[in-house]
Amino acid sequence: MTKIRDALASASPERRRLALATLTDAELASLAAELDGGSWAAYADDPVRFVTDGLGEDVWSMQVEILNSLRDNRRTAVPACHAPGKSHIAARAIAWWVATRPSDEVRVVTTATTFRQVRGILWPHIRRIVNTHDLPG
């Protein structure tokens, strides 16, 4: 989409109107998202689609519930046993939030019972996603 954006920016208003008329709805949405703050902005209201389409990962039903709850509620609690994937989905939720918001407006604070858990469990997940997908933030 960057090539289209650059071509439109350098075109005359008439050529721009003609070119925009030839784009599909999906192409227009992608272009609008890029102009609004990057290609990840298109996922701002849909964390599940961010993970499945944007990151190319599968999510199971409870993870869908968690992501949608994060989108829809100010607070979300996830009571679960040891190692069901809480850190995995938390990292994806953090990546979604940071990647889809303007960088000068977004902040995320991560906590856990111990600092060792934050440093040794959650942040390796976050770094892996950011590095793999070249995410902002």
Write the pLDDT tens digit of every residue in 60-111.
Answer: 999 999 999 999 999 999 998 888 899 999 999 999 999 999 888 899 999 9
Q: Are residues 90 and 126 both part of a single domain?
A: yes
Give the dihedral of Cα atoms 65, 70, 72, 77; nearest 10 deg: 80
- Please write the tens of the pLDDT for every residue from 38-70: 578 889 999 999 999 999 999 999 999 999 999
> Which structural domain range is residue 27 located in?
2-35
* Number of independent structural domains in the chain: 2
Q: What is the pLDDT, as a whole number, of residue 11? A: 83
- pLDDT attached to residue 41: 86
What's the Cα-to-Cα distance from 107 to each of 28, 29, 33, 51, 98, rounded to whole Å?
29, 26, 21, 20, 7
Dist CA 83 CA 76 (whole Å): 18
CB 68 within 8 A of CB 92: no
Are residues 85 and 23 part of one domain?
no
